[in-house]
Amino acid sequence: MSTFEDLGSLLLVRGADEIDHAGGSLYVHLHRVAKRLTTLGASETLILAGLAHASYGTDGFPTHLFDWQTERPVLESVIGPEAELLVYRYGACDRETSWRDLAEHRTVTDRFTGTSEEVSGEQLREFVDLTIVNELDVLDHAPKLEPKLRPFLQEQIPRWQSLASPAVLADAQRILQL
């Protein structure tokens, strides 16, 4: 089996298919995010992180499949250290303090530990791409959230245009009519 298939099996074992999420189960959402990243030309690391991105829960979705304090090595053993770090960073991100001015300060605050880290280069681009693709999937599959989420993304995405990959940015601009 491939790493992608191994991860999919692990997500099933952890019950991702039994957790409600926008447009179906968490399992379905995770696969849609990974598929969209694939379509947009993402790296294997980012695609795997996309498939696992909510493993530790997120600031907007507290349900978790793995305990961030004790089970990071489990996920890392399947997807590798780079993808696991991206999954951790995404799940740990305190959105209120990190998202708005990310392009200026390039700092992600960890909601679990209260610490902050400066992120740059490819790691920052992948973090932003994952964030945008996830939010676009929620927008596409959670009509009740659209009245609040669409205006937020229409305001936020232009702030991240210097950070996102061209393909992800173009997809967001098309969907949000920016």
- The enclosing domain of 123 has a CATH number of 1.10.3210
Spell out the residues 6+ positions from residue 126 whose beta carbon is closer than 8 angstroms to its own.
Answer: 42, 43, 45, 46, 49, 86
The confidence score (pLDDT) of residue 114 equals: 97
- The secondary structure element, H or E, covering residue 21 is strand 20-21
In this prediction, the residues of the chain whose per-residue pLDDT falls under 50 are: none
The confidence score (pLDDT) of residue 116 equals: 97
How many domains, in total, are found in the chain? 1
The confidence score (pLDDT) of residue 23 equals: 86
Strand blocks (E) in 97-157: 107-109, 116-118
Domain limits for position 131: 3-176
Calpha distance 24→41 (Å, rounded): 25
Half-sphere exposure of 131 (CA within 13 A, CB side): 31
Spell out the residues 6+ positions from residue 19 whose beta carbon is closer than 8 angstroms to its own.
Answer: 25, 26, 27, 63
pLDDT digits 0-9 by tens, 26-77: 999 999 999 999 999 999 999 999 999 999 999 989 999 999 999 999 999 9
Calpha distance 95→87 (Å, rounded): 14
